[in-house]
């Protein structure tokens, strides 16, 4: 570890299997903080295990209330974090607090730009409370999943008969979509981010990505609001499609699979084939998120 001119305290070289550590200059670094940084090196193996156990997980980390971050894989954390905003200002910390997460379990953020450099991501996070202060948020553990990974590893594998799948959060915002959905909706998926300047605040997807706020997806939004799962003919982006959807239990996101009307007309049993395609995509997404959620919950204990 080293003291930085800014007043921060940071790793120099974490070594094999180690995490990067950064203690913000907003905290006066003394003996207690140095000891805390040293003791928490014990979680590095757990962070490494989470990342290495899933193709979706880009990084795993711990953020504490007093401005310390441990994150794996390691990178030049001092260059990225010095002078930046505290973790508490971002959804990957704030969404775990008692007000937003009264159950104190693991939860998921909406898509946002990662200030640590991973581009557009979603995060599975879990709060840490200690017995001595059961209502004080000591810190938050998390796992980051890039939007690009969701598209590449999940949605791209669910294509069938010219159809495609999209993943929506509880508010109706498109979390991830493949190129076919981009073409239909006239928007380009957000994966990379501009890091020419530090990310000082939450950056979320614009309204064009929310099916509840677009005129050309109103029929789809109405169908999705009718129940947690179903199949319905709707018009999306000016084209007729057959949409099938189901809702994950946790997080309450929807996987929506769509087939163009021209393709539906050619299928002998469109309902059955559509359901099989939707279920295949659903279980792929569900399995990946259950594993990530369990990993985060366990690491938060």
The Cα 201–Cα 216 span in angstroms is 30
Span between the terminal Cα atoms of the chain, in Å: 26
Question: Would you place residue 196 in the very low, low, confident or very high pLDDT band (cuts 50, 70, 90)?
Answer: confident
User: Residue 271 in 3-state DSSP?
Assistant: helix
- pTM, rounded to two decimals: 0.86
Across all residues in the chain, what is the average pLDDT? 86
Q: Strand 139-146 and strand 119-128: pairing?
A: antiparallel
pLDDT tens for 29-41 read: 999 999 999 999 9
Strand order in the sheet with 254-260: 174-176, 164-168, 254-260, 239-247, 230-236
CA torsion, points 214, 148, 18, 199, in degrees to nearest 10? -40
Q: Do residues 121 and 146 make contact, with C-beta atoms less than 8 angstroms apart?
A: yes
pLDDT mean over 61-76: 95
Q: Which residues contact 166 (CB under 8 A, 6 or more apart)?
A: 155, 174, 176, 177, 178, 181, 255, 256, 258
The Cα 298–Cα 301 span in angstroms is 6
């Amino acid at each position: 570890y080293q003291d930085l001119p800014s007043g921060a305290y940071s790793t120099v070289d974490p070594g094999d299997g180690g995490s990067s550590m950064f203690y913000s200059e907003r905290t006066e670094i003394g003996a207690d903080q140095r000891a805390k940084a040293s003791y928490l090196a014990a979680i590095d193996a757990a962070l490494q295990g989470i990342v290495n156990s899933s193709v979706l997980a880009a990084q795993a980390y711990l953020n504490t209330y007093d401005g310390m971050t441990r994150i794996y894989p390691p990178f030049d954390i001092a260059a990225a974090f010095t002078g930046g905003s505290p973790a508490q200002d971002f959804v990957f910390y704030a969404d775990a607090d008692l007000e937003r997460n009264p159950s104190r379990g693991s939860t998921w953020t909406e898509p946002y730009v990662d200030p640590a450099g991973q581009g557009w991501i979603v995060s599975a996070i879990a709060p840490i409370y200690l017995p001595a202060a059961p209502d004080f948020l000591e810190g938050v553990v998390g796992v980051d999943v890039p939007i690009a990974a969701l598209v590449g590893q999940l949605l791209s594998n669910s294509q069938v008969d010219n159809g495609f799948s999209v993943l929506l959060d509880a508010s109706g915002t498109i979390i991830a979509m493949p190129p076919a959905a981009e073409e239909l909706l006239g928007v380009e998926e957000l994966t990379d981010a501009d890091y020419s300047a530090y990310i000082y605040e939450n950056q979320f997807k614009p309204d064009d990505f929310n099916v509840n706020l677009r005129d050309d997806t109103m029929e789809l939004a109405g169908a999705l609001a009718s129940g947690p799962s179903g199949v319905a003919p709707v018009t999306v982006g000016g084209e007729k499609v057959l949409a099938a959807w189901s809702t994950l239990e946790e997080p309450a996101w929807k996987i929506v699979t769509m087939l163009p009307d021209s393709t539906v007309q050619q299928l002998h049993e469109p309902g059955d084939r559509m359901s099989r395609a939707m279920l295949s995509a659903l279980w792929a997404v569900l399995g990946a998120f259950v594993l990530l959620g369990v990993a985060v919950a366990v690491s938060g204990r």
